[in-house]
Structure formats: C-alpha cells, structure tokens
Structure 1
C-alpha cells in the first residue's frame, strides 16, 4: 500500500509540475516570423513560410500540434510524432499550397496550404486542442516579412527577412511608398535631367550601376539628376517610421536610338556576375552557377522598335537552356511574380498571337546557332503558323544589362503550362495546373508538368497492339491527336533537324496528346536523311531520344500511312515552297543584319563575312532539301515507285519550279 501511495504521490507531483512548468514551456513556442508573399527563391521554390521559435529554456515536444489558417480546422497541418523544438532554436513550416510527399522533420516542415497575403489569422494549437497562439496578420507586402521584434514588442514588418536567425530589433506598421521616376524612361539625345518624387519626408537614395540602393547610397538631388550616357537608374525611399520602399527602376539611353525592340534588365551584381552567386557566371564550384537553378529579382523594361515603353516592372530571372549555358552570351528566362509586383507582363510583343499578357518570356541567345546564322530556329519555327501545331513565336530584339549593351537576342514565348494554356484556351487555374507537359521519352526525369502515366501507357499500347484492329485504333484516337503528330514528324524531317531529342508532348485536361515544335536550330545544315532514321523505324527498335512507337504503329495501318504521306506532300507544296520560305528569311534578315555589327563587336565570336556565307548555305539547304524528301521517304518507308508518284508526283513537279537550285 505504501508503494502504491508513493507512486500516486509521484504522479501527483508530476501533474503539479506539468501544470506549473509544462504549460509554460508550451507557451514559450511562438510564431516568430511570417512571409506570405515570398519572391526569394530557394531550391527552385518561393513558398510562403512561417518560423516558430522556442524562447524558453526547455525542449518542447511538438508531436500532434496543429498549425492552421482556418478556425474550423485547427490541425490543417499536424506536426508528426517526434517533432521537437529545442530551447533557443527555430523551425520553418513551408506553406507550399501543394500536396507534399512528407510533413518534414528536424527544423523543416511542409504544409499543403498557402498563407493569404491579404491578411488572415494564424493559429498554433497543442495536441490537446489548447490554443498556444493566435496571430492576426494585416495585409502583407511583397517580399517583406512580418513578425515579433527580437527582444519582444508588438508584431510588425521587418526591413529584412531573417528566417532561421534572430529577428531584427525594429518592426514597423507600414512600408514607405515607392518613389515615382517622373521623367519617362527611354531614348534621348545628348543628355536628360531626371526628376523623381517620393512621399513627404522620405529620404531618396539612388544608384546608377544596377545595385539596389541602401541608406548609404547617394541622395537623389532635389534639382534632378543629369544623365549623359546610357544609365540604369534605381531609386529607393527611406522613412524613419517604416520599412523602406520597393525599388523604382528606369533605363535612360543616351545617343543610342533603337533599331529593334529593346529589353533592359537591371539587377544587383550578386545576382548576375558574382563568382559565388551570380547566375550568368560559371563560378568556382564543381557545379557551374548557371546550372544551379538560381532565380533572382530583376527590373525588366521592354521598349518597342519605336522606343515606346511597354512594360517596366520587377520580376525574376533564371539562366535558361542546357548545353548552351556554357556560351558567354546566355539565354535568360523572365518571370512575372506577384511578390515583386504583378504576376503578368501586361503586353504582347508577338505578331501572330492575340494574347494580352504573358506569365513568362525567354531571351534566347540563339544557343548552338550563336556563331553561324542566329536565325535558323526562329525562321523554321515561324513556318508552323496556321498548321495546327504549337510553336514559339519570336521577335528580334537587343538586350541591355545594367546599361551595358548585351547584344542580339530572340525574344520567345517560354514553354510551360501557361504557354500551352494560352494556345489551347484553358483559363481555369486548376486546369492549367493539370496540363501535362513531357520532354523526350516522357519518363519521370523528363516530366515538366502534370503526369506522364497516360502517355507511357499510350506508347506501350502502340508498341504491342495491332492498330489495324478498329477497337485498338479507336482507343488510340481517343488519346492522341494523330494529325498533329504527323505534322510534327513532317516538319522535323523536312527541316532536317539533327537535334532529334528536342521533342515535347502535352495534353490539356479532357484533351488529346499533342506535339509542339521547338528548338529546331539544328536544321538546314545539309541534305542528309537525318533525322528520318529516328522518326521512321521498327516498333521494337531501341528508343532514342523520344518515343517513336505511336508514329510507326500508324504506318502499319494503310490508311494512316497514306494520311501521313499526303500531309507531307501538302506541306512540301505549300509551306516549304521557296517563295514562302524566302519571305520568312527576308523578314528576319531585314531586322537582324543592321544590328549584327554591334553584336559582333560586343561578343567577338563571329565575323560578318562568315555570317553572310552561313546565310547563303542555310538558304540553299532550305531551298533544295524539300525536293529530296520523297526519295528519303521512299527508302525509309520502302515505298514503291507507284506510291511515290501517287503522293508526290505533282508536288515534285511544282518544287522543280519553285525550289530549283539558285544560279551561282
């Protein structure tokens, strides 16, 4: 009995200790800092985040605790068993807004909801449904964190986010208004005096080298700033009672009239050229900086060929491309991000599109064609207009980075779910998120968006099943846009694109699988059959670069084989007639040729005379190759003479006139 009483006493004492001290320990865990409109990318993501901090002296067991933005669901996110927060430590809950494979562990956790930047209440609850903290948040600013000042005090906005570290000692209730650069950005002769306005009492600081202004930067002159050379201007406002403003930016071009549309980028050296973190440099590590997927803030301006400003906004940038990233002049992808201002580029620079805005754009440096013609891809792609296949439109432009001339680029649409959605007319956000986009073979490593299960099933079905069976053919036709596939294969073969791995397919919810035409710069180089051997091959042949089975399964069906050959003949007699192709060449050359001398002077990686020779050779192959296609198909598909005559007889007669060899 004494022993039982002793145990009961111990239990009683423990209960008293837990009430007195355990509850206190729980109360030591606080929502320390929140970022609900994040524009700083880490490992490819800029998720919302919440930081918890244990300001007590004891480790707190968080197992079963809940974190939420919903009064009705206190355990919207639940900490897994074993989750702990040691005294003086921080942990992060990434609020991803997407289904997560794991709730996380250690000091990093993942919730499947986002935090509203318009203001809401966050709740932290222990496993017994006792409320630990309720934090009502006001409307949030982009890229500004909100939290408790180090040392205590009222919650407010911080000058700098400090996730995982001690918070700043000062927190503010507002943000200083962004200054207005009154003088229009653009093109001037001789010089221009720039006027800037800020909120009453604000201290305006500026830079002219691309760096974000700080309190130590030069004070903007009250009488205005006289600019005598092409200059990137950035201005920021500082106030004693507020977080500093977002940064205003504008480029002033002096004695530098545009010959094309212009894109000007302004950003900090640490984001661009720093050996440690700059995305346009190789850096010093084993993995080049340009291959690390960095995404950084940048001010983006677009001026049309008349010098009229179309957009001026903050966004983000990444280094784009694959093997071409090693080139000195790198391709750059641009993104409109809400955290930095707007989630759209509210303009349309492309002549064949009727869209009113874009989510992302691509500054393409011509990649593998950088020192030859710089136009193969855009000319070849433009031939797909109106042919039932998605391609990237283009505009020949010039780029400046921090006021420095960066040469000729081709402005392109960027391939992603928004690009597909715009073309296919998909408008619901959930449907856009569920668009499937696959590269190359479509396996998991080449999954760009959505899901690949149905595509892989389709390819395997085509490999194993006889499509002469009407039921089998019906099954495929329900899933695959066959005419689109035929058009894609025809283009690749006629163009002679030797980079045969550049194949992508996509599908919108409720739609069929389609191919898109992209990255065909490795075309018009010779009169060899390639890439025909990769497109037309045995069903059980080795998979090389992309899945060849759907196309070749169709060729086993006589009417489908005939349909493909008719499509090739149609394209040869219309799109690939030299009078049509030559016009596409001339439209680009008329814009590109005048700006090339300056581009060559900037990069010194080509010569104008060599460019002219390369253009001449490219035109020759574009003119003559179409006449060779019927004979190539005859060999690859084992066509009879009668079949060649049936499908290509009249077309060859036409091409002998329209595409005859040029007189030397």
Structure 2
C-alpha cells in the first residue's frame, strides 16, 4: 500500500518535533529548555504521555534527530536552504512510504521509503500509539512487531532530508480460522485455534506443518503483500531442449499471491487435535471467475525424484529425444504417481464450496509436456470425503463428483484457451455425452497459476452418476478397441461388432438392424456430425472413446441396453485453419486413415436408410446447433468471461504470446463459425448429391 505525501515546503512539521522532544528526554538537553524548539514553544502535545521510550537503531534515524535538534538551538544559525539542481528532463521525486508485508514467523513488519536527501526515518504507530522507529536500510524499512488480537490499524510516517513527511496506513479486520470463511478479505488479523494441552504450529508456504514449523503465538497479519518470493513459478516445467514454440518461460513480472495458512496442533513431535488449511485473497478479486486453491508439499510437484510437474528423474534417465513430446516425470501414470493435496474451490463471490483432502495426478498425454499442465483430482477416503459434494457446474443436475479435471486447455493453451469448452458447449442440446466445463482461476501454494477449466472426467464414476448405473458394470474402450476401463474380455463385444461390419453387407436392412442392436446408431450419427463439422484434425485416428453397460437389462433405462455410445472430448485441434476444409471427404475417402477409425461410418453409408438419416440430421444441426448466430454467441460469451484475466495469465505463463494474439485466435474461431456452415452444405452436396 503506497501513499504519496503532501508537499509542506520548507516548514518543519511540529509532529516531528513532538517525537524529537520525547526522545530527547533520554538525551542531554540544556537546562531550562521547555520545548524542543522555539517555533513550537507553547504548543500542546496531548499524545506525548502515551508515547513509548524510543531506541534509535539506524544511523539515518540518529542523524535525523541530531539535525532536528540542531535546528532548534537558539545559538546555532539555521543552515541555508540550497535549492536542488533539477534536471529539466526529469520530474522531481516526491517522498513516499509503503507498507509492503509482514513476516509473521520472525515478527517483522516491512516496507519501502523513498524521497529526497540522505536522511530517512520511519515511525510506526499501532492504533494511534507509537510502536517505535523502524530500522532503515537503503530504501527498505522494518520493525519488529507482535500484534495483539484487538488491534485495528497501523500507520507509518516517514521523513527524508527535505523535511517532507509521507504517510501510509493499513486497517486490519479480525478474522477467526474457526468460523466459516470467504476467499476475498480485506487486510486481516487471523486467529488460529489453540489448546492448553497442545502447541499450534503453522506454515504459510503450503507445506504440511511439522514439529519444526513456527509456533503460533499471536494473530497472523494477512495483507496484499508486495515483493514476497514466488519460488514455484521460477521452476522450469519442461526441459531446455523443448521446442521454442512451447518451451517453459519465466514469468514476465511479479507473480501475485494468495495467503495460504495451514496449522496443526502438536504434543512434542506428535500431531494431535485440530488441523486445517485455508486460503485467502487479500484486496484482490477475479471478477466473474471462480477460484481454486491447491495446497501441496512442493516436493510432490517439483521434486527431482517424484515430482509430477517436472521432467525430473525420468527425463534424466531417458529423455526420448526422438519422440515429439519427449519424456519426463509428468508422463508417468497410475497410483504410484498420485500425490496428496488439499483442494479448495470458491464461487464467484468468494464463498467456499469445496475444502477437503484429495489425490492428484497429471492429466493428459502429449499436453503433459507443455509448460502449463492439466491436473486430475481424486476424491478418496484415503485423503478425506469420498466425493466432491458441490454443484460446481451451473445448469447441471449433478452435485457430487468423484473425479474432476483442472484442465489448461490442452494444446489450445497456446491459442484461444476456450476451444474445447466452447465447442462441447454447443452440443448440450443433443444426447451426446459431454464434459461440463467452467473457466476457473488456480492458485498453487498461494502462487497465481493462471486460467484453467474445471471439467468433468470421463470414467466409470461419470457414467454411473449420469445414468444411475453400477460403475463396476461399465466398460470404456478407446481407439481400435483397447480396454480403458473394465474387466479383461469386455472389449470382445466391440471387436465382434467390427468383425460383423467387415464381413456383412450393411445395405441389407436386417444387417443394419443387427448393428443397431449392438451400438446406438443415432448417438453415432450425432458424434460423427459434430467431429466433421468441427473439422477436428486430431480425429478419427485419435481421441476416440466409447462405452457400454456390460450386463444389459431389458425394459430399463436406455443406458443399460448394452449398446456402444461415444464420448466427445479433446477438440483442441478443431475449428482451426481453413473453414472450407472438407473433413467429410477425409472421413469417407482418405486412405491414410487407419481402417478401424473409419470402418463403421463408411460401411454404414452403404445403407440408404442410414445415409438419409445422416444427411437429414446434419442439415438440422446446420440450421440449429451450428447456426452462425448460435456459435458466435457461444464463443463471445466465453471470451468475454475470461478476457479480464488474460493479461495476468499471459504475464504468468507467456502463452498465448500476447493479448493481441489471443484476440486474433478468438476472432479466427468467430470467422470460422461464420463461414463453416456454407462450406459444409457444399461438402454434403458433393458427397451425397442435391437434397
């Protein structure tokens, strides 16, 4: 907090003389002198009795006192005032002082002082009572302070050689850890729980409190600190040989911080009693965006041996230079690469929605090598509650999730940052399975970690909660029939479907009927139309998943009928490039695509009924789902939602390259949406004739 002082000309402030007078009581003053100086003689100093004896610790403060007293001596003529030589090219500096931060562990309040002349001194007041004179080193000041729970305000008054004072003040509100908290707070004094039978220890860097952590003895000062280190943001998250287009970059400026407080009570070295984790944003807001705060022992993310966010040991042992994405700790998967952390999620106004322990893994394959990585959160009894119980996605009926993704937009983090979220959102009115999406700001151990998307994750828990089915009876396959989730042998049903399609004439109604008994053909048509309209170049040979209920039940919910249905995801390479690109012809004729990826659509097109259903449904989507007005409105809505956050995100990560480049990519998507329907109508006519 920085305040510029009013200019007082050559008048010496009597408030300064008042302080000098009280300090002079400990020094030798000529007998009979009743006032610190003649100009102030007869003035009343009502606050003098409340002032504490002072000890000057800095040479600059002593020099200030000496000159001030010398100026008051009747037998010493005042020094002539020599106006400074001003450089006409530069504006003359104005003194100012700031309160920058509080080191709660060591008990030091600190700030900055700048001004004219060599003499600098800072007096610090708490609730109107002089605490003391700060130690000044260069342009930094500090003072030891143990705040009391009932205090309300701090004021500092700084002086330079010109005699012009500068002031800064800070009001502090009481904040109790034991009461429900909101994310957004003004500067505060935080009280932690204590016990007569245990010692409360705490940390402010995200680490788990240990028997060696600082002991809590007085309320913690939480303020919007300036100049505090953000060490995690300086750790490279991919190796130096990474292609320059997506190599890790250091932050372009200071990284903002949230206050993250963790405490644990101990008896000797044994954790006992209460513990907790809380995050606060002091004098800062993220407008229309919710906020997630993740608190974790830094070693779990950034340690060489086991850190999941860095190249680490895996890269050192085998960098795999011939593979596009290389190799690193962040490419490892499975339970062995899951780490514990604490999750907090706050709604737009700052009210807490989730606060619990959970597990975390890196999410994604190739995109894990990008500097900014997606995370997968696991609610488990090992860490806390079994689910994330919160309605985090407006408009969704669900209010309980077992797994969540905190996604960085995949490869689109280099470009628009809204692509997958926006395109999936266009399909909400279909029966397709989609991932709810919500742009969210993330803090990691209090350090600003930029824009993310809170997403649902496709897995057996997702399908069970969506359809009210037994998750243990769900099979999820990917690509050519590889088992992703389920029991060995669950893939045989799909492989039998492919075998039937290869060896039977699907133009015959009875054969189409058999295929429809094994897969939801209407679902498949919507899925194919969406991917083709979006011109997804990372499909159909990649990013393909589908599922079925392995123990069909007749007469029940449709999801239990045992037919295969498809999952739309990872549209990071869609809506890019030429809006006239004929993705329909690619799917129908490109011989470079693997046979398994186009077998179903090409064989089904030999059936006249299926072809008519496909073309008719595509026309409906062009008129409704993919109308220019609807698509551009969706893009603009998401872009407007995150626009205010984009500059801070770019300053933190360096991607997209600039605000202007981000706007360029968003505008390119808008142009694509405007032109795409006309081109696709032409593609349909070329492939299937007039309609």
TM-score norm. by structure 1 comes to 0.65
Does 2:201 match 1:205? Answer: yes
| Aligned: 1:466 with 2:505 | yes
> Distance between the aligned counterparts of 1:360 and 1:275, measured in 2?
27
Contact 1:503–1:546 (CA under 8 A) maintained in structure 2: no
Give the equivalent residue in structure 1 for 2:473.
434
Residue 542 of structure 1 and its aligned partner are, at CA, apart by: 6.7
Q: Does the CA contact (< 8 Å) of 2:189 and 2:221 recur in 1?
A: yes
**Judging changes above 3 Å, is the alpha-carbon distance between structure 1 residues 505 and 333 closer, same or farther for their aligned structure 2 residues?**
same
1:394 and 2:389 equivalent? no
Question: 1:216 aligns to what?
Answer: 212
- 1:247 to partner: Cα distance: 4.6
With over 3 angstroms needed to count, the CA separation of the structure-2 counterparts of 1:235 and 1:624, relative to structure 1, is: same
* Superposed counterparts of 1:511-530, under 5 Å: 511=561, 512-525=563-576, 526-529=578-581
Alignment of structure 1 residues 109-124 onto 2, 5 Å: none
Are 1:231 and 2:231 an aligned pair?
no
Matches within 5 A, 1:354-369: 354-369=397-412
Equivalents in 2 of 1:507, 1:245: separation in Å?
A: 47
Offset, 1:530:
5.2
Distance 1:200 1:481, change over 3 A: farther
Give SS of 2:263's match.
strand
Aligned to 1:505: 546
The CA deviation string for residues 39-58 of structure 1, in whole angstroms up to 9 with x for no partner, is xxxxxxxxxxxxxxxxxxxx
> Which SS does the other structure have where 2:310 is aligned?
coil
- Which one of 645, 648, 666 corresponds to residue 595 of structure 1? 645
Partner of 1:391, secondary structure, is coil
Return the offset for 1:290.
0.6
Assess, with a 3 A threshold, how the Cα gap between structure 1 residues 604 and 456 changes in structure 2: closer, same or farther: same
Tell me which structure has the larger Cα radius of gyration.
Answer: 2
Instruction: Report the alpha carbon displacement of residue 532 of structure 1 after superposing the two structures with TM.
Output: 2.8
Task: Give the counterpart of 1:301 among 344, 367, 370.
Answer: 344
| 1:41 corresponds to | none
Within a 5 Å distance, the mapping from 1:51-70 to structure 2 comes to none
1:191, distance to aligned residue in structure 2 (A): 1.8
1:547 aligns with 2:597: yes
1:277 aligns with 2:306: yes
Corresponding residue of 1:64:
none
> What does residue 628 of structure 1 align with?
679
Aligned residue number for residue 559 of structure 1: 609
2:278 aligned partner: 250
What's the CA shift string for 1:415-434, capped at 9, x where partnerless? Answer: 111112222232xxxx2122
**Contact 1:280/1:330 (<8 A) preserved:** yes
Q: 1:452 aligns with which of 482, 491, 494?
A: 491
Give 1:599 deviation, angstroms: 0.6
1:483 aligns with 2:522: yes
Q: Secondary structure at the match of 1:390?
A: coil
> CA separation in 2, counterparts of 1:557 and 1:350?
40
Pairwise CA distance, 1:185: 4.1
| Structure 2 residue matching 1:300: 3-state secondary structure | strand
Tell me if 1:321 matches 2:373: no
Q: Please state whether the residue corresponding to 2:286 is helix, strand or coil.
A: coil
2:388 to 334, 345, 370: 345
Superposed CA deviations along residues 254-295 of structure 1, whole A, max 9, x for unmatched, are 112132100000000111111222111111432411112211
Taking structure 1 as reference, are residues 268 and 246 closer, same or farther at Cα in structure 2, changes over 3 Å only?
farther
Q: CA deviation at 1:528?
A: 4.4
Deviation at 1:197, TM superposition (A): 2.1
- Give me the whole-angstrom Cα distance separating, in 1, the residues matched to 2:274 and 2:386: 16
> Could you say which residue in structure 2 is the equivalent of 1:535?
587
Q: What corresponds to 1:88 in structure 2?
A: none
Residues 167-220 of structure 1 deviation map (CA, whole Å, 9 limit, x = unaligned): xxxxxxxxxxxxx93154434454222222256512221111111111111112
Unaligned runs of 5+ in 1: 1-179, 647-664
- Is the CA contact 1:389–1:515 (under 8 Å) kept in the aligned structure 2? yes
Give secondary structure in 2 for the equivalent of 1:581. Answer: helix
- Further displaced range: 526-535 or 585-594: 526-535
Q: Is this contact kept in 1: 2:392–2:399, CA < 8 A? A: no
* RMSD of Structure 2 on Structure 1 (CA): 2.1
Residue 267 of structure 1 corresponds to 296
Cα distance, 1:198–1:456 mapped onto 2, change above 3 Å: farther
Contact 2:437 2:456 in 1 (8 A): yes
C-alpha displacement at 1:240, in angstroms?
A: 5.9
Number of the residue aligned with 2:66: none
CA distance in 2, matches of 1:436, 1:634: 38
**Structure 1 residues 361 and 228 mapped into 2: Cα distance closer, same or farther (>3 Å)?**
same
Q: CA separation in 2, counterparts of 1:528 and 1:579? A: 19
How does 1:43-122 map onto structure 2 within 5 Å? none
Confirm or deny that 1:577 pairs with 2:627: yes
Question: Quick one: distance in 1 between partners of 2:194 and 2:517?
Answer: 60
* Secondary structure of residue in 2 paired with 1:461: helix
- Contact kept in structure 2, 1:332 and 1:362, CA below 8 Å: yes
Per-residue CA deviation, residues 8-67 of structure 1 (Å, 9 max, x unaligned), is: xxxxxxxxxxxxxxxxxxxxxxxxxxxxxxxxxxxxxxxxxxxxxxxxxxxxxxxxxxxx
- In the alignment, structure 2 segments of 5+ residues that lack a partner are 1-175, 225-257, 319-326, 553-560
Q: 2:286, 2:645 within 8 Å by CA — same for their partners in 1?
A: no
Aligned residues: 452
Residue aligned with 1:548, SS:
helix
Q: Cα deviations across residues 416-468 of structure 1 (Å, max 9, x unaligned)?
A: 11112222232xxxx21221111222234xx2444211111111211211123
Task: Verify: 1:290 aligned to 2:330, yes or no.
Answer: yes
CA distance in 2, matches of 1:334, 1:280: 14
Residue 518 of structure 2 aligns to a residue in which SS? Answer: coil
Alignment partner, residue 311 of structure 1: 354
Aligned pairs for 1:29-44 (under 5 A) are none
Residues 354 and 389, structure 2, Cα contact 8 Å, conserved in 1: yes
Is the CA contact 1:495–1:622 (under 8 Å) kept in the aligned structure 2?
A: no
Name whichever of 582-591 and 246-255 sits farther off: 246-255
> 1:495 aligns to what?
534
User: CA separation in 2, counterparts of 1:438 and 1:289?
Assistant: 26
1:612 alignment partner in structure 2: 663
Residue deviations 1:576-610 (CA, integer Å, cap 9, x gap): 11111122112211211111011111112220111
Alpha-carbon distance between aligned partners in 1 of 2:614 and 2:279, rounded to the nearest angstrom? 52
CA distance in structure 1 between the partners assigned to 2:196 and 2:528 by the alignment: 63
Indicate how the Cα distance of structure 1 residues 523 and 246 shifts in structure 2: closer, same or farther if over 3 A, else same. Answer: farther
